[in-house]
Structure 1
Amino acid sequence: MGNCARDGEENSNENEPTVSNSNVPEQMKLLLLGAGDSGKSTILRQIRILHVQDFSHDELLDFRGPIHINILEGMRALVEASHQFEIVLDDYLQPHIEKIETEELTADVISSLKILWKDEKIQQVFKRANEFQIHDSTQYFFENLERITSDDYVPTHEDIFRARIKTTGIVEVPFEYEGVKFILFDVGGQRNERKKWIHCFQNVNVMIFCASLSEYDQMLYEDHRQNRMYESLMLFGELCNSRWFVNSMIILFLNKKDIFEKKIQTRDLKMCFPEYDGGCDYDNATAFITEKFKELNKRPDKKDIYVKFTCATDRDAFQKIFDEVKVLMLKESRDI
């Protein structure tokens, strides 16, 4: 995830005027929605740092445990996938595989993780990461394993942006901009969490929907038969046309553009959309996906979909994107 922005590409809507504070409500309710693993929680952490307050030293330390668990889960996923792909791991790895069946990173476990990650067959499995369930940041964490497993390790912003922590329930983040109070609600994206969303739906000024561009060749964690891109499209279509959001502004974050830009070079979008004929071109592919989402809007004459391409782990680029979004929200609020 990280915003490797090209000039002008994040602006899908031209002629966006500056904002006057007249007729802007004193408080705006924002709802952050999307399927699981779309990057919503990372976006929420970014917004908190930008507009509320940075994470304290103790709060950063709270991420150590989840990050260590992400590392262990990543390696266990690789070992399990080796069986799925019938890649037989060498016998000498077996003691190391047994050691990672834990939740604690001892010196022995760390040593075993390093040996496993360097193994040629494990790397063969990792090259097929799109074919099984593994977190996007697995490579990043293993490349930083020495630092992350040190005794005095304090997670950096990039570390916490990349940490995978499943959102359960509802998280509320208030912040202020241009004299207007915003309240941003984030809710769990997995299917079993969505039933809790309904309690947040009343009087929403802005619905921000987050979808991962790079998920077109991946399946859901909770349903290995369902393609993630199709799940996001289905969910967006339901929400975009819901009675709850008739008067709400809709912003679509197409996230993980950095991963997508690399993936599209070798993984044709046609595997997800047979009708796609744009080849391995990033601009063609993003335009096609954008249209797939926008065509789900049943009231295009009355409601615009504002699209932004994001990489939520890139702090500077995300700040630029969100500055534009705030102006859009204040401008649109005059008509809500």
Structure 2
Amino acid sequence: MGNCGSSESAAAVVASNEIDKQLKLEQKNIQQNIKLLLLGPGETGKSTVLKQFKLIYGEGYTANEKLAFRTTILTNVMTCTLSLINAMDMLKIPYGFDPTTVTLPTTEEDDDDDENALTEDDKVRDDRGSAEEVFENENEYEPDQEKKVSDRMALIESEIPKLENPMAKYAAKLYKRAGGRNRQTGTGPDAAKVVKSHDMSFGISPGETLPDEIVNAVEVVWKDAGIQYCYSRANEFQLVDCCGYFLNRAKEVCNPEYNPTEQDILNTRQMTTTVSETRIMVEKKIFRIFDVGGQRGERKKWAPYFDDVDAIIYLVAISSYDQVCLEDSSTNRMVESMNLFDSICNHPLFKMTEMIVFMNKIDLFKEKLEKTPISQYFPTYQGPNTYESCSEYFASRFIALNLFPEKSIYLHFTWATDTKQIKAVLAIVNHSILRGNLTKAGL
């Protein structure tokens, strides 16, 4: 009996030592791991930042992974072209419409009677086609899902204003005279019909290529003057930012021998509908980076990942100040970003969490400012329409949402597809995160 008791006691000591060893190992792992969340509304560049992490700090993409992106690029080419074709009907723009050659009528009467303004491509048959829906929301909006920005903001703009656009109005008149939907003739509308004939019901399969007929039609559609005018009004409908990048090179990227470059991969767009975890070693620390879908319907998946977060990178598409949400055509995207940031930044769980804001897509922001003053959409802004002044305005509005005096918001202006620029920003961000992690550990 004595020997049995001694044996059990020894076994208990061994088990206890193993538990202690495991606890120490887990504690060491916790100290070595950095949990980082990429948050923000849809279309802000979260997945692009994750790609940059992999390219800069990870092993990048293998040859097979690069080839897999060909499918995504072909999908982008087709969906962008179809979006433009559908938007031509939604915005009522006739094919061949070139605003640079148009002299607007001086009176309403001249506008009604000016048949001479029609080009040969505009003179098409009457259209009695069905009024099909042009766009359908991919996610249903749950009204109680988001909390609103609090009343401390004196004024927050919630809707895209109805701006008078004489050129758009005139284009719509020519569209109506030309017959409207489906029956326009000429190289542009004929090519559009070819593109629409390609079955995209099941998307594009890995290894699939686009027929030459479709690729040629895509090129014709993209070069049409009316399509280019439609593209200049892309803020009025849903179109991904990579549209011009890939359609300008449609023949190249649709070639069966085409091999995507890293820059091409950074510019691809694929809606994130799952939560992905990527592990990357940065300065002997393991960064566990979680990329989650930003559309409203995806945000209910965020909650399980809120525990033990070391840092949050919140992305804002600063260029979206004149756009509306995919799920809600009455809400300005920048306002949506503010609403969501308010709820995350001031969440009790994140009171002491490192909060980093990327005001992203500054390249597109600078382009838009040249033709669209932000005061048209944010009347509270009364300053000059310069990049420096306008970017500072939006930065101050986000920083003002923070309710915790002891909490700092680290804000950076970024161009996520520019590896050189984002590499410099990420170096600063990673240093800040690691410093904060040491502080929390009492080191």
TM-score by length of 1: 0.90
Q: CA deviation at 1:266?
A: 1.4
| Cα RMSD (Å) | 1.3
Distance (Å, rounded) in 2 between the aligned partners of 1:55 and 1:334: 31
Partner of 1:98: 193
Name the amino acid aligned to 1:291: S
Alignment of 1:208-247 (within 5 A): 208-247=313-352
Q: CA deviation at 1:88?
A: 2.0
Q: CA deviation at 1:95?
A: 3.2
Greater alpha carbon shift after TM alignment, 29-38 vs 218-227: 218-227
Residue 354 of structure 2 corresponds to residue 249 of structure 1: yes
Q: CA deviation at 1:272?
A: 2.4
Q: 1:60 pairs with 59, 66, 86, which one?
A: 66
Distance (Å, rounded) in 1 between the aligned partners of 2:371 and 2:229: 16
Larger radius of gyration: 2
Q: 1:86 pairs with 89, 92, 98, which one?
A: 92
Greater alpha carbon shift after TM alignment, 250-259 vs 222-231: 222-231
Q: CA deviation at 1:71?
A: 1.1
| Contact preservation (8 Å) 1:269, 1:279 | no
| Contact preservation (8 Å) 1:63, 1:160 | yes
| Contact preservation (8 Å) 1:174, 1:181 | yes
Distance (Å, rounded) in 2 between the aligned partners of 1:146 and 1:109: 10
Alignment of 1:172-321 (within 5 A): 172-299=277-404, 301-321=405-425
Partner of 1:41: 47
Distance (Å, rounded) in 2 between the aligned partners of 1:79 and 1:144: 18
How many aligned positions are there?
312
Q: What secondary structure is seen at the aligned counterpart in 2 of 1:25?
A: helix
Q: What secondary structure is seen at the aligned counterpart in 1 of 2:31?
A: coil
Distance (Å, rounded) in 1 between the aligned partners of 2:80 and 2:312: 32
Deviations 1:233-263 (A, max 9, x none): 1000000001221221000011000110111
Q: What secondary structure is seen at the aligned counterpart in 1 of 2:439?
A: coil
Q: CA deviation at 1:204?
A: 0.2
Deviations 1:290-312 (A, max 9, x none): 0010000001x210000011111
Q: CA deviation at 1:142?
A: 1.3
| Contact preservation (8 Å) 1:266, 1:280 | no
| Contact preservation (8 Å) 1:206, 1:329 | yes
Partner of 1:20: none
Q: What secondary structure is seen at the aligned counterpart in 2 of 1:225?
A: coil
Q: Which has the higher contact order (CA 8 A, sep 6+)?
A: 1
| Contact preservation (8 Å) 1:130, 1:218 | yes
Greater alpha carbon shift after TM alignment, 173-182 vs 190-199: 173-182
Distance (Å, rounded) in 1 between the aligned partners of 2:224 and 2:192: 12
Q: CA deviation at 1:144?
A: 1.5
Distance (Å, rounded) in 2 between the aligned partners of 1:176 and 1:63: 24
Distance (Å, rounded) in 2 between the aligned partners of 1:94 and 1:288: 43
| Contact preservation (8 Å) 2:34, 2:287 | yes
Moved over 6 A (4+): none
Distance (Å, rounded) in 1 between the aligned partners of 2:382 and 2:347: 32
Q: 2:250 pairs with 132, 145, 148, which one?
A: 145
Percent identity over paired residues: 34
Unmatched runs of 5 consecutive residues or more in structure 1: 1-23
Unmatched runs of 5 consecutive residues or more in structure 2: 1-29, 96-120, 122-184, 201-208
Residue 221 of structure 2 corresponds to residue 126 of structure 1: no
Q: What secondary structure is seen at the aligned counterpart in 2 of 1:88?
A: coil
Greater alpha carbon shift after TM alignment, 268-277 vs 251-260: 268-277
Q: What secondary structure is seen at the aligned counterpart in 1 of 2:425?
A: helix
